[in-house]
Amino acid sequence: MKHIDNTAFGGERACFAAHDTRFEGVTFHPGESAIKHTHHVEAHHCRFTGKYPFWHNNDVLIENSLFTVDARAAIWYSSNVRMRDTRVEAPKMFRSLEGLTLERVTLSNAAECGWNCRNIDFRDVEIANGDYLLMNSQHIHIDGFRLQGNYSFQDARDVVIRNAHLDSRDALWNTRDVTVYDSVLEGEFLGWHSRNLRLVNCTIRGTQPLCYVTNLMMKNCVMEHTDLCFEYSTIDVDIVGSIDSIRNPAGGRIRADHIDEVFLDEHCLNPGACRIETRETEVPA
């Protein structure tokens, strides 16, 4: 492997079509497409300040590096990208990738990040300002994750999330086959229009969660300050503690220690199709 150490590049396509190359301690000054159309490249302790540095690449490893705010849209149309111990200050970081692994990575300005990607693995990742994170992406595994950003995971498919804290309005909309374990999900309108959503040992916070869901399963979950839940959803739900209110579920079963209010009105689609229970009593709806 060729080594390029302790230098700087600027301008357009500075290292275009590089291959089998390790960059160590290199600064990439403003310019576009610094490492475009490459394969088998590594960047260690590097600094990126120009736009679109990694496009159309295969087999990329990035460690202990910095992408400044000007390195926007940095890694698109690539495969087998691994990033570790790196800070990203730029938006629109990842698009249309096949194979993305992040370990101990912080993204501080992650708007519109991770769209249309497949086969994603996040471990110990922290994201802020991450509106529309991972929209329309598939085959996602996450463990150790903190997110601040709205509309996350919209239209995502085949997702497993563990040990996470999501502060995200409209998270998990129109998803398919998502399972979340041991996590906190807070924000309005969680999970609307999703299918096969499973929440295990989770805490849910925010108004009107989990409406229009087909085949929702919740096991050993806590719901804090949640009202008007489960409207038009088909569900199998077991809650520890109380639920503020439920409105017009479409079918299935709800069980909790206590339910403050149940609203079943003329807009209920299937009266009698959902059984609502507390630990002490059972109320057919």
Summarize pLDDT for 65-117 with one digit per residue, the tens.
999 999 999 999 999 999 999 999 999 999 999 999 999 999 999 999 999 99
Determine the pLDDT at residue 284. Answer: 46
What are 184's two structure tokens? 């906190």
Give alpha helix (H) positions in the chain: none
Determine the pLDDT at residue 279. Answer: 79
The rounded distance, in Å, linking the Cα atoms of 123 and 107 is 13
Determine the pLDDT at residue 250. Answer: 95
Determine the pLDDT at residue 281. Answer: 57
Determine the pLDDT at residue 280. Answer: 65
Which pTM does this prediction carry? 0.94
What are 237's two structure tokens? 């739900």
Kind of pairing between the strands at 203-205 and 94-95: unpaired
Element (H, E) at 81: strand 79-84
Tens-digit pLDDT profile for the chain (285 aa)? 999 999 999 999 999 999 999 999 999 999 999 999 999 999 999 999 999 999 999 999 999 999 999 999 999 999 999 999 999 999 999 999 999 999 999 999 999 999 999 999 999 999 999 999 999 999 999 999 999 999 999 999 999 999 999 999 999 999 999 999 999 999 999 999 999 999 999 999 999 999 999 999 999 999 999 999 999 999 999 999 999 999 999 999 999 999 999 988 888 878 888 999 997 655 444
The rounded distance, in Å, linking the Cα atoms of 39 and 4 is 15
Determine the pLDDT at residue 272. Answer: 81
Radius of gyration of the chain (CA): 22
The rounded distance, in Å, linking the Cα atoms of 146 and 178 is 17
Q: Tell me, rounded to whole angstroms, the distance of Cα 22 from its chain centroid.
A: 30
Backbone angles phi, psi at 92, to 5 degrees: 55, 45
The rounded distance, in Å, linking the Cα atoms of 113 and 179 is 21
The rounded distance, in Å, linking the Cα atoms of 189 and 151 is 10
Determine the pLDDT at residue 42. Answer: 98
